[in-house]
Chains A and B, each alone.
Chain A
Amino acid sequence: MQPIISIKGLTKTYAGGFQALKDVDLAINKGEIFALLGPNGAGKTTLINIVCGIVNMSSGAVLVDGHDIVSEFRETRAKIGLVPQELPTETFETVWNTASFSRGLFGKGAGPQHVEKVLKSLSLWDKKDTISMALSGGMKRRVLIAKALAHEPEILFLDEPTAGVDVELRQDMWNVVKALREEGVTVILTTHYIEEAEQLADRVGVINHGEIILVEEKNKLMREMGKKELMLHLYDELAEIPAQFGNYDLELSEDRRELTYRYDTKGEHTGITDLINELRNAGIRFNDLQTSQSSLEDIFVDLVNKGQ
């Protein structure tokens, strides 16, 4: 299947000499939610801005639905909606006017029914006659999403969409994103809230120092790179881990009452059964146990730290 966005050999060096992107290759599939993760200054926003036409690339090629973003910019930009990281809104315009303006700007005739649908889906309908200046930060964020959706884009870029919004609004936005995917819209989001990517994304890309470190299906990534831990609450204090357990990745807590065993989820044998058998044979008893799995955030931090 042809990707809806195809990026090849993309580089960007700013006038001051800072290289924001280094030979980036990336393909985004139609209809997926793709989370682009990376620390501050990694190149996420530069990448988005190049695809949207706000920043000029230094070299490389970007195709959107088979169209070149430079020579066929009309075709590519008409397919894209962008919600930027900042909150730039037309200060003195009403919500209705600003959304309608965006629709026209992207080449669509008046569509009051669609604008109404978008405003209602974002709980903005009762604010349609309010000027942007009078809205809260969270509401302005919704207005920006409404503007980006006003021209019915096939691709939606969300650059830190839930930065600074409350939990309820974040949940609302996640629902909007999920609904968009149901309608076939491709969503590319950058976020600092790894939980957001964990909740929403089909695939995850990690970028650091202008380079794509990894692109993987989220579930596969968590399955393959995630680690699990088995915590055993000991019946008696254990002075030290007996030498016979040297083959296991074990750690004894400071109070000497909890034994933690780390194991690889992708391994054929986790070693749990053998460990428990050996503990019983060694007379080490436990009265409770629990397991935990590393989150996407743990994986992300590991990946970024390895790249430092």
Chain B
Amino acid sequence: MNFYAIKAIYRYEMARMFRTAVQSIVAPVLSTSLYFVIFGSAIGSRITEIDGVSYGAFIVPGLIMLSVMTESISNSSFAIYFPKFTGTIFEVLSAPVSYGEVMLGYVGAAATKSVIIGTIILGTASFFVDLEIAHPLLMVTFLLLTCVSFCLFGFILGIWADGWEKLTIVPILVIMPLTFLGGTFYSISMLPPAWQTVSLFNPVVYLISGFRWSFYENADVSVTLSLAMTVGFLLVCLGVVRWIFKTGYKLRT
């Protein structure tokens, strides 16, 4: 295994994050804080509790997931798209590295950034609400799985995209609606029965529900199913990335 290459890519990507710290870290923390102010305070004054948890505390897991998912996609898609755009990808393609090593470098760095952001948001939330984490290990597991899965998804997106519009269209038109409709700000049990059924087709529901269960032990779907869905998504993304590197799709002509 080419550890030096993994380290080089990882360090390069992490340096990029610290070089753009305001955009990478401060911006998502600020936007999440605004969510707390708007949803937590404004709506929280009308909805006091959901399943025995104060509304402000209830939305914390969903907000962390919202930020982690969008940042994971954004970071990893940009990380691989920008070298394609500038042409510097030739160096990675001509280097003695396997697809797994390239992925470990790029996705590892993007996932690290997402975990840092998730942790900062968790810390920020503790200033607004009283937090309890019933199952810390499971919470970390869900966080890591989500970060890695969505970084892989972003990586695929970055390879697929052949323009800036394509790079942004999926996060805006697909991921953002799925996240907002995935129970970030509400429990799907609050929806009419028909919409509850529709919501079960939204994969983000399972991620948020499982993550929330690790905090408050209440969930919209079973935690085992949530975990299975998250691992399933991870495996699908891994399979697609493997296929991309095997075939050279959009990378090698």
Nearest CB of B to A190, in Å: 15
Nearest CB of B to A60, in Å: 16
Interface residues of B in 91-135 (CB under 8 A from A): 91-98
Q: Which residues of chain B are near A243, meaning CB under 8 Å?
A: none
A107: which of B9, B11, B90, B96 is its contact (CB, 8 Å)? B96
Asked whether any CB of chain A lies closer than 8 Å to the CB of B201, the reply is no
Q: How large is the interface on A (under 10, 10 to 19, 20 to 34, 35 or more residues)?
A: 35 or more
Nearest CB of A to B231, in Å: 31
Nearest CB of B to A160, in Å: 14
Cα-based distance from A73 to B95 in the complex (angstroms): 9
Interface residues of A in 161-189 (CB under 8 A from B): none
- Is the Cβ of B90 less than 8 Å from the Cβ of A104? no
Please name the residue on chain A nearest to B7 by beta carbon: A104
Asked whether any CB of chain B lies closer than 8 Å to the CB of A101, the reply is yes
Cα-based distance from A112 to B41 in the complex (angstroms): 54
Chain B binding surface, main DSSP class: helix
Q: Which residues of chain B are near A235, meaning CB under 8 Å?
A: none
- Is the Cβ of A107 less than 8 Å from the Cβ of B12? no
- Is the Cβ of B90 less than 8 Å from the Cβ of A82? yes
Q: Which residues of chain B are near A91, meaning CB under 8 Å?
A: 86
With A15-B253, A77-B95, A78-B96 already in contact, the answer to whether A106 and B15 are too (CB < 8 A) is no
Asked whether any CB of chain A lies closer than 8 Å to the CB of B232, the reply is no
Q: How large is the interface on B (under 10, 10 to 19, 20 to 34, 35 or more residues)?
A: 20 to 34
A97: which of B15, B95, B97 is its contact (CB, 8 Å)? B15
- Is the Cβ of A88 less than 8 Å from the Cβ of B96? no
- Is the Cβ of B95 less than 8 Å from the Cβ of A89? no
Cα-based distance from A100 to B87 in the complex (angstroms): 18
Asked whether any CB of chain B lies closer than 8 Å to the CB of A80, the reply is yes
Cα-based distance from A55 to B252 in the complex (angstroms): 5
With A56-B248, A92-B19 already in contact, the answer to whether A105 and B9 are too (CB < 8 A) is yes
Asked whether any CB of chain B lies closer than 8 Å to the CB of A90, the reply is yes
Q: Could you list 13 A-B pairs, sorted by A, with CB under 8 Å?
A: A53-B94, A56-B248, A74-B98, A77-B94, A84-B87, A86-B87, A90-B88, A93-B12, A103-B8, A104-B8, A105-B4, A105-B8, A107-B4
Q: A residues touching B (Cβ–Cβ < 8 Å)?
A: 14-15, 52-56, 73-78, 80, 82, 84, 86, 88-93, 97, 100-109, 147
Q: Which 4 A-B pairs have the closest CB atoms?
A: A104-B8, A88-B87, A77-B96, A52-B94
Other A-B pairs beyond A15-B253, A106-B5, 12, CB < 8 Å: A52-B93, A54-B93, A55-B253, A56-B248, A77-B94, A80-B94, A84-B87, A88-B87, A97-B15, A100-B8, A105-B92, A107-B4
